[in-house]
């Protein structure tokens, strides 16, 4: 198959591109490199023994997208491109709506022009807002608490409208829980710009000595140890979920909405202790105030993905930490700057 991957140089994209290449697909990446480094795709090529083609293009650039589609002639599109920092989205909402929402509309129009009607979209557990119960099922009520989350919700609604009006499309909405870890080679991984927003990259940067201590945001939640509980999923399992979902979509038109999580809740303190075991050192942390907007508990019911896609996450918390640590230890400053 020929697959066009937007945002394929990024964290989840690069791991998915690797698995696509290893499965024998032809891959064309469209990425403006606003939050990634082309070194990721060079290393993916090293690991796969063959390369994806990179177009350094913004998904909002009509002419450049036409050129990429004409060259790629894709059977399907996997759409990772987007901005993802919650705090930044509160400060710069227009940038998020333009890049994520208008960018997706532009991509859908390009797909229509080129008669490509199979799409996998990166949604997020953030669309469940503050869930009334756990584990979370796909038919739970949807809401958003910040512009980033709202951009994902808007895109989901656009995709549902599109499918209603044009049922010949085959669309997969994948709601990721908390992706962590790195490829087991330690060659590719998550390389956040500046101070990490997410827990695991923060913890590994403390472990490697780049940051002094982890702040644990809240220890009075109604959870077993008082700290927030999340469903962390190994990025390679997540990437594998995309290959399974792609197989499913290519069987025929439809609209698939699926959680990608493990179904297991892990607290902030459990995560820090697991990383201490992986790194073989203690990780300084201090209990601080809750972070505004955080929920106490968020984990998936992964039953639909198991049933429809035959997919379950196979890597446990120790593997997530071991792989995240190998990446951080071997690349303490992330990818070398271009």
Tell me: does residue 35 bind ligand WQD (CB under 6 A).
no
Closest CB to ligand NAD: residue number: 10
Spatial separation of the C-alpha atoms in residues 268 and 280, rounded to whole Å: 18
Nearer of residues 198 and 215 to ligand NAD, judged by Cβ: 198
- Residue numbers at the binding site for ligand NAD (CB under 6 A): 6-7, 9-13, 30-36, 58-60, 80-84, 99, 103, 122, 124, 176, 179
Nearer of residues 34 and 288 to ligand NAD, judged by Cβ: 34
Name the packing angle between helices 199-207 and 268-279 (round to 10°). 40
Q: Is 148 noted as a catalytic residue in this protein?
A: yes
Catalytic one among 148, 176, 202, 299?
148
Tell me: does residue 86 bind ligand WQD (CB under 6 A).
yes
| Cα Rg of the chain, angstroms | 19
Q: Which residues contact 332 (CB under 8 A, 6 or more apart)?
A: 208, 209, 210
> Could you give the 3-state DSSP secondary structure of residue 99?
helix
Spatial separation of the C-alpha atoms in residues 328 and 208, rounded to whole Å: 7
Tell me: does residue 126 bind ligand WQD (CB under 6 A).
yes
What string marks each residue from 159 to 198 as x (binds ligand WQD by CB under 6 A) or -?
-------------------x------------------xx
Please answer whether residues 174 and 120 qualify as being in contact, where contact means their C-beta atoms are separated by less than 8 angstroms.
yes
Please answer whether residues 145 and 197 qualify as being in contact, where contact means their C-beta atoms are separated by less than 8 angstroms.
no
Tell me: does residue 202 bind ligand WQD (CB under 6 A).
yes
215 binds, among ligand WQD, ligand NAD, none (CB under 5 to 8 A by kind): ligand WQD
60 binds, among ligand NAD, ligand WQD, none (CB under 5 to 8 A by kind): ligand NAD
Spatial separation of the C-alpha atoms in residues 14 and 239, rounded to whole Å: 9
Instruction: Please state whether beta strands 229-230 and 266-267 pair in parallel, antiparallel, or not at all (unpaired).
Output: antiparallel
**Which sign does the torsion angle of CA 207, 261, 159, 119 carry?**
positive
228 binds, among ligand NAD, ligand WQD, none (CB under 5 to 8 A by kind): ligand WQD
Q: Is 132 exposed, middle or buried (0-12, 13-18, 19+ CB in 10 A)?
A: exposed
Tell me: does residue 151 bind ligand WQD (CB under 6 A).
no
Tell me: does residue 136 bind ligand WQD (CB under 6 A).
no
Q: What is the DSSP letter of 222?
A: S
How far apart are CB 50 and ligand WQD at their closest, in Å?
30
Nearer of residues 54 and 297 to ligand NAD, judged by Cβ: 54
How far apart are CB 122 and ligand NAD at their closest, in Å?
3
How far apart are CB 243 and ligand NAD at their closest, in Å?
16
69 binds, among ligand WQD, ligand NAD, none (CB under 5 to 8 A by kind): none
Spatial separation of the C-alpha atoms in residues 135 and 220, rounded to whole Å: 21
Please answer whether residues 206 and 262 qualify as being in contact, where contact means their C-beta atoms are separated by less than 8 angstroms.
no
- Tell the residue number behind the tokens 């179904």, with chain if given: 263
Question: Which of 43, 114, 187, 230 lies at the binding interface for ligand WQD (CB under 6 A)?
Answer: 230
> Could you give the 3-state DSSP secondary structure of residue 266?
strand
**Active-site positions?**
148
Positions in the binding site for ligand WQD (CB under 6 A): 84, 86, 124, 126, 178, 197-199, 202, 214-217, 228, 230, 268, 291, 294
């Amino acid at each position: 198959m020929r697959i066009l991957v937007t945002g394929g140089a990024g964290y989840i994209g690069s791991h998915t591109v690797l698995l696509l290449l290893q499965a024998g697909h032809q891959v064309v990446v469209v990425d403006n490199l606003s939050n990634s480094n082309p070194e990721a795709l060079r290393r993916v090529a090293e690991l796969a023994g063959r390369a994806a083609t990179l177009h350094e293009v913004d998904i909002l650039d009509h002419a450049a997208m036409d050129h990429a589609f004409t060259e790629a002639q894709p059977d399907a599109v996997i759409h990772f491109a987007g901005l993802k920092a919650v705090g930044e989205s509160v400060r710069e909402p227009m940038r998020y709506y333009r890049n994520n929402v208008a960018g997706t509309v532009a991509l859908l129009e390009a797909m229509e022009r080129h008669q490509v009607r199979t799409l996998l979209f990166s949604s997020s557990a953030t669309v469940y807002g503050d869930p009334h119960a756990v584990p979370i099922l796909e038919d739970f009520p949807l809401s958003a608490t910040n512009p980033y989350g709202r951009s994902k919700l808007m895109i989901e609604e656009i995709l549902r409208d599109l499918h209603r009006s044009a049922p010949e499309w085959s669309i997969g909405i994948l709601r990721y829980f908390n992706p962590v870890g790195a490829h087991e080679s330690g060659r590719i991984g998550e390389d956040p710009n500046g101070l990490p927003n997410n827990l695991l990259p923060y913890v590994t940067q403390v472990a490697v000595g780049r940051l002094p201590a982890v702040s644990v945001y809240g220890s009075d939640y109604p959870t077993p140890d008082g700290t927030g509980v999340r469903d962390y999923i190994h990025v390679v399992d997540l990437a594998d979920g995309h290959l399974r979902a792609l197989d499913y979509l290519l069987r025929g038109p439809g609209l698939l909405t699926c959680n990608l999580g493990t179904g297991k809740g892990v607290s902030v303190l459990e995560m820090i202790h697991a990383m201490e075991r992986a790194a073989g050192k203690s990780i300084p942390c201090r209990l601080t105030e809750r972070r505004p907007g955080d929920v106490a508990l968020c984990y998936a019911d992964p039953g639909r993905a198991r049933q429809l896609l035959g997919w379950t996450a196979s890597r446990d918390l120790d593997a997530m930490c071991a792989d995240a640590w190998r990446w951080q230890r071997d690349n303490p400053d992330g990818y070398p700057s271009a």
